[in-house]
Structure 1
């Protein structure tokens, strides 16, 4: 962006709202200032396509490819410009049918406008919409009712909306553009903050972009913000950061340090998330960066306990810390963690989860019911508590497995999984899933049918509600296999009790039930 372009001066306003590029002349002036900068031709081409000047847009895209022959963004821009030119040449009529999503996968998303011949014999196409799209339809319907209830639809909808809006901002720009912004101290774009907020509201909101490498864009954006605020990147040791932070606070005060601290912690968390769940799928390294962020927050809170929360920033508040610890729990429990069943790991996980549950439950008691029921209350307190209980249950199961006999550990696991389930709404997929794991714990603990079957009924009642939102999710295969196992067990033994072939006092497990080690699938995905 040209240094002459006016900036949006308020924190949190996207630079794309600043108005400088609301006419082609703004882009043209940028190109005149630096005619060999291919990124400027890309931006100019995108805007010309947007306003219908397809021929000029194509010319700018072709120039961008000549200047940046290795740029994926340049070639993508050229492809779109060529497509727009073909549409203009043939003057295809615009279809008026609604957008239909026919295929969604991690690396590819096909969106097409199509007409569907509606006949009585035509089968209804499967609803392959992701959870956030289904959630949006549900929330729209609730607007016209007087129902006062919480729902997991609000959690995933607002998480994905926050994430996606920030992703759009990042993917519309490029590293050169961001680095040229003459930010005053403390001013930052909302982009990375929005990405992180979406993930911390609900990690399931993360969605790859089929048109661009979002992880590369996040990396470039992170470097820009760290440089602008003089922050510490993920390679800096914790000791170095803590030492330098003390010096800066003493010399310059919290006003100048706050942006650097926020950007640094934000960078570490996003780097840990990318290492854990996107690129390397390495929970050990991901957990290392989550722990680093947690340790830094604890250091700040203990070193400067009397500094007002507004001066230290939101990253030091529990509404930030609890969802961060939720991300760490997922890394602790990931089946790819090389040491997750070791005594040391189990003891560490148990202490970590116990502290999270205790602190979040204590703070929850002081919140009003309206705040708890809000999407923020669910994301920042309820879900971390639920997953903390589930982590404690998993620890009890691992310890019970080692005894090779019905163990009190499995009763404790049942109790913790049940606590996890009831914290969540019935339409949340983890509600049904945690109930299934609670039932599995009772099978392992040798509990009689009279205590197991009521929980099976709860799974049967929750499953249809959950599928309205979570039919298509990363957990669906594992979750649905568990639900099917529970419901088949319930049908079989209710029938046997009715026929006199079994008694409510009997102890039974499903047919072909796996051993403890074989049945140890992912608790939290």
Structure 2
């Protein structure tokens, strides 16, 4: 609150009013005045979204704060596209935007769960489109790295993790769509697409990150329900999960996901993989056989 007052940030004004006032202040007072005001305004909305979505468990309200932040960021990036970073501020950089978009995707899915179905106010098609667009953006940034020296944590926070979130949201999209389809072939298509998306997500996270192991677990869940997945391919993912789980436990043993049955679900998939490989050793299955549907 003190910083917002000191920087003369905006709070209750409407989005279009803020845009008008920002341009007016820029003309009158210059970048040294408007840059911190915009930064505090956007960051305050992001913090408010986190509070609404995570502490108050009101993801629908949180989505609106994220949308306000993203709208203002996109607007500023457009009208000040040729203004140097030192003037307009870090919030209008590519990487800051990808970080916010990743958070928005997660909250949008949470909001969908409060109003599920094909006619949701938070439609799955929109989630998928946003996730695919974010992947294009993170890929573009990766192929055109900044000349500034950045540490690995920066790359993880603003490129790898948003990409992982995007892939996992696409995976979730297919999981949800499989539940809404009455066509067995369409369900199988969703399982296969979802497994591929979760495997891509796993590849974006460090091996000791909870989301790496959990994405591999989600991959196995969907591979077990897909027709034609080879035992060898299934076992390769299971081996990765078996290696990742102990690394995860050193850091994430008591996380919220851990308290929600994560470890039991992982163990169930690992036990299933072990049973399948036992049948291979006994000659009852080969690595090229399809995984028994589970």
| Aligned match of 1:254 | 31
| Aligned match of 2:124 | 346
Residues 168-179 of structure 1: pairs in structure 2 closer than 5 A: none
Cα 1:423–1:256 shift into 2, 3 Å: same
| Aligned match of 1:204 | none
| Aligned match of 1:281 | 57
For residues 281 and 111 of structure 2, the distance between their equivalents in structure 1, rounded to whole angstroms, comes to: 40
What's the TM-score once normalised by structure 2's chain length?
0.89
Which residue among 199, 204, 207 is the counterpart of 1:426? 207
For residues 458 and 251 of structure 1, the distance between their equivalents in structure 2, rounded to whole angstroms, comes to: 58
Residues 315-464 of structure 1: pairs in structure 2 closer than 5 A: 315-334=91-110, 337-342=113-118, 345-367=123-145, 374-404=152-182, 405-406=184-185, 407-446=188-227, 447-464=229-246
| Aligned match of 2:75 | 299
Residues 259-297 of structure 1, C-alpha deviations (whole Å, 9 max, x = no match):
21111111111111111111x111111111011101101
Is 1:472 the counterpart of 2:254? The answer is: yes
Residue 444 of structure 1: CA displacement?
2.4
How many equivalent pairs are there? Answer: 286
| Maintained 8 Å contact 1:282/1:336 | no
For residues 371 and 229 of structure 1, the distance between their equivalents in structure 2, rounded to whole angstroms, comes to: 29
Residues 145-174 of structure 1, C-alpha deviations (whole Å, 9 max, x = no match):
xxxxxxxxxxxxxxxxxxxxxxxxxxxxxx
| Maintained 8 Å contact 1:411/1:441 | yes
Greater helix share, 1 or 2?
2
| Maintained 8 Å contact 2:32/2:87 | yes
| Maintained 8 Å contact 2:59/2:110 | yes
Which residue among 17, 27, 32 is the counterpart of 1:240? 17
Deviates more, 1:497-506 or 1:318-327: 497-506
Residue 318 of structure 1: CA displacement?
2.0
For residues 459 and 287 of structure 1, the distance between their equivalents in structure 2, rounded to whole angstroms, comes to: 32
| Maintained 8 Å contact 2:226/2:293 | no
| Aligned match of 1:310 | 86
Cα 1:371–1:415 shift into 2, 3 Å: farther
For residues 29 and 241 of structure 2, the distance between their equivalents in structure 1, rounded to whole angstroms, comes to: 57
| Aligned match of 1:482 | 265
Cα 1:335–1:496 shift into 2, 3 Å: farther
**1:334 is paired with a residue of what secondary structure?**
helix
For residues 257 and 90 of structure 2, the distance between their equivalents in structure 1, rounded to whole angstroms, comes to: 31
Which residue among 27, 43, 49 is the counterpart of 1:266? 43
For residues 425 and 325 of structure 1, the distance between their equivalents in structure 2, rounded to whole angstroms, comes to: 20
Residue 226 of structure 1: CA displacement?
1.8
For residues 268 and 111 of structure 2, the distance between their equivalents in structure 1, rounded to whole angstroms, comes to: 21
For residues 2 and 117 of structure 2, the distance between their equivalents in structure 1, rounded to whole angstroms, comes to: 40
Larger Rg: 1
Structure 1: gaps of 5 or more residues: 1-222, 511-525
| Maintained 8 Å contact 1:301/1:316 | yes
| Maintained 8 Å contact 1:282/1:337 | no
For residues 307 and 379 of structure 1, the distance between their equivalents in structure 2, rounded to whole angstroms, comes to: 25
Residue 428 of structure 1: CA displacement?
1.2
For residues 339 and 380 of structure 1, the distance between their equivalents in structure 2, rounded to whole angstroms, comes to: 29
